[in-house]
Structure 1
Amino acid sequence: MNSEIGSDMELIATNFLLKTAASPPWEDGSKIAYVETGRQALQLISDLLWDSGQRTLLLPSFLCESMLSPFQGRDWDFQFVEMNPDLTLSLDSLRAIAAAVDGNFVALVALYFGRVPDSEFVQAILELQSLGGVVIDDETHRVLSPGRSRADISIASLRKTLPVGDGAYLRGKIGDLASRVFPARQNGRWEAMRAKSDSMVGGDSAASKAFFRDANSVLDASRTAHAPDMRTLESLRTFDYEQLAQARVRNAAVLARILDGEKSIRIVNKPTPGSVPSHLVVEVHDPQLMQESMAASGVFCPIHWPRPSMLEPEIPWQSNILSIPIDHRYTPEQMTDVGRALLSVTKS
């Protein structure tokens, strides 16, 4: 590869900026609060719901550790919802579990990898609410995608899909949670992003990676909610979200065309009309080996996710997937190179 693909984002290119500031697409007039990370957002919600008397939590059986950790430390009754082979929630399982509890429950739902809520998903949310459930929708992978699920509370971590140093939102029936957010602080990620931008034109790439490691460790360790860096809040009103979405849709389509039909690779989230993929997710025989081989070519592909340590062993886990970066930083030509590299690894 002529340049690195994947890993932490650098500063955004000016051609993806608006000339006039505007509200981001997830702001719809509902009450909203911003914090540094999705983990902090979920911690605030966990505290709020526990204080209100909630004790039962329905959540996907395929999820990342940071979705679970804010609810640990208290005696929540975890009820894990089955997943379909394409890593969507089994709505039948969701309905069955909700019907079996006493009507006083919380359901954390998510449409992974940029999928949009369809009518069946929205109907399932309404059914949970009619049973007395409080529904939290994790929108992290679809902040650029249209559609709302009508959940009681929506949250998203923004640094996973957007070029910001930090940031997450809570939207909906969040009460006075904004009053529990501490002032912003320096966390170093904006400086790391600038260092990476500099490294791409001759700077020290090792230094920028060290900056990211240090900054990420500060953010990931924090349970106390802080407001995001002011640079984040300002940037969120200057991004051209339509262009950012179009780049992802285009890149996913290019990569999917190259991989489609390859027997050793199954595309988990094939592009569909209206969706804006966070990644192109593929099922492969040995994702760790594929990840290492692609990294040697300069393509850094995350694995979503390592199995959370507290997950019961009898709960099945899809451990053979790899997520390919397709974001706005890359051209169709680079996506073509990535696709060819993937095919080359599968044949080696």
Structure 2
Amino acid sequence: MELAPQTLTAPLIHNILSQLPSHQTVVTGRTGIKLILQAIKEELNGVFLLPAYLCSSVLQTFQEEKIEIAFYNINSDLSLDLMHLIKQVENLSPQGIFFINYFGFPVAKKVKEALLNLKKQCWLIEDCVQGSLVEATHPVVGKIGHFSLTSFRKYLPLPDGGLVINNTQHTLAYLPAILSKFVRYRLFGKFLRYEFIHHYLNSSELEEIYLNLFAAAERELDTQTPMQGMSEISQDLLKRLNLSDAMERRRSNFLSILQAFTETPKLQSLGVPLIAQLPEGVSPLVFPLRVREKKRDQLRHQLQSQNVFCPIHWHLPQEVQVTEFPEAHQISKEILSLPIDQRYTKDDMNSLIDQLLIAYQNI
């Protein structure tokens, strides 16, 4: 008996999902990529183009499916280098193009038009894993690709979960919801982290345990991409979240930091915002900053000493050669992602700005 794809029924996003032709849950974003590749693999007999600025987890799925890849360039502001992409298409005649809406921001209008034109001759996979696909009634991303995907765990307090949007006649394989090791590690780690932060159990032992659980979860993913649907626990948690409120908080926090950089010369000396505008409908994942004068790692260390933890999106995989893509590597060396998620208020953003200035003075 053929099983129907696992879909979401969370009432807070039902209106959005009802507009979609077909969708299926996945446990992680990389699961979604692999699910898509498996659905079209029989039609692939050439190279797939990927952006030079990406994380290693994207590469993992193509490598597991033994699909040949090549890269196209990304500009200094993370916009897609359209001239280089077109050149790669002309030279390589790719079977597919994978592109990313970085930090929840859609590609520029001219890029969208070019991609829609390229869609006539090759597969397009649109990566929306960093937000803006399900938070708004009319999403600003996810409208270009034959397939698009997101990863709820990147921007919501869930141990796992994501979504693949299928705009084709191809059938996606059924993925059962399994409470795997990865999900259990993430779930237990989140419980312990909550105790650590909210109940003031400021114990180095407790901190070490939950950090080890998160690390163990990532090792599970890095070993092999899990082919499972979103866990029932995360589906239930999703039903209780107000995604619209989360989006508005993220937008407000982003604008607070952007305004501070606009008005504060010392912050301008520290770094340059990678994205200096906030279009309607965008639910930004973080506030991406390019730190000046090769001081990114020093600044990050100083912020950690103040209990401000800023991720790096991303350390580039070795397959992206620095000689061929120097700009992507330069961004990777300078980028720092300032936290702006829905847990934080305007007062928290003001505090973050103060901590940035203190850290800057100490480097």
Q: TM-score, normalised by structure 1?
A: 0.86
Give the counterpart of 2:284 among 277, 286, 290. Answer: 277
Partner of 1:194: 191
Whose relative contact order is higher, 1 or 2, with alpha carbons under 8 Å and at least 6 apart? 1
Partner of 2:37, secondary structure, is helix
Task: Give the secondary structure class of the aligned counterpart of 1:244.
Answer: helix
Distance verdict in 2 for CA 1:21–1:86, change over 3 Å: closer
**SS in structure 2 at match of 1:135:** strand
The verdict on how the C-alpha distance between 1:259 and 1:56 changes in structure 2, with shifts beyond 3 A counting, is same
Task: Please state whether the residue corresponding to 1:140 is helix, strand or coil.
Answer: coil
Residue range with higher mean Cα deviation, 219-228 or 21-30? 21-30
Q: CA deviation at 1:299?
A: 0.6
Q: Does 1:83 align with 2:83?
A: no
**Which of residues 298, 308, 316 in structure 2 aligns to 1:289?**
298
Distance 1:165 1:94, change over 3 A: same
1:222 to 210, 217, 224: 224
Q: Percent identity?
A: 22
| Equivalent residue letter for 2:192 | A
Where do 1:175-194 residues align within 5 Å? 175-179=170-174, 181-186=175-180, 187-188=183-184, 189-194=186-191
Distance 1:277 1:21 in 2: 19
Correspondence for 2:243: 241
Equivalences for residues 101-120 of structure 1 within 5 A: 101-102=92-93, 105-120=95-110
**Which structure 2 residues correspond to residues 44-63 of structure 1 after superposition, within 5 A?**
44-63=35-54
Aligned residues: 327
For 1:79-103, what per-residue CA distance to the aligned partner results, in whole angstroms no more than 9, with x for missing partners? 311111111211222223223333x
TM-aligned CA deviation for residue 65 of structure 1:
0.4
Unaligned runs of 5+ in 2: 1-9
How much is the aligned-residue C-alpha RMSD, in angstroms? 2.3
Distance (Å, rounded) in 2 between the aligned partners of 1:134 and 1:95: 15
TM-score, structure 2 as length reference: 0.83
User: Residue in 1 aligned with 2:146?
Assistant: 152
AA aligned opposite 2:274: V
- Alpha-carbon contact 1:38-1:155 (below 8 Å) kept: yes
Greater helix share, structure number: 2
Aligned residue for 1:72, secondary structure, equals helix
Deviation string, structure 1 residues 274-295 (Cα, Å, up to 9, x no partner): 1221100111132221111111
CA contact under 8 A between 1:35 and 1:41: conserved in structure 2? yes
SS at match of 2:96: strand
Q: CA deviation at 1:25?
A: 4.2
Which residues in structure 2 correspond to 1:259-278 (within 5 Å)?
259-260=261-262, 261=265, 262-274=268-280, 275-278=282-285
Structure 2 CA distance, aligned partners of 1:330 and 1:202? 18
Instruction: Tell me by how many angstroms 1:106 deviates.
Output: 0.5
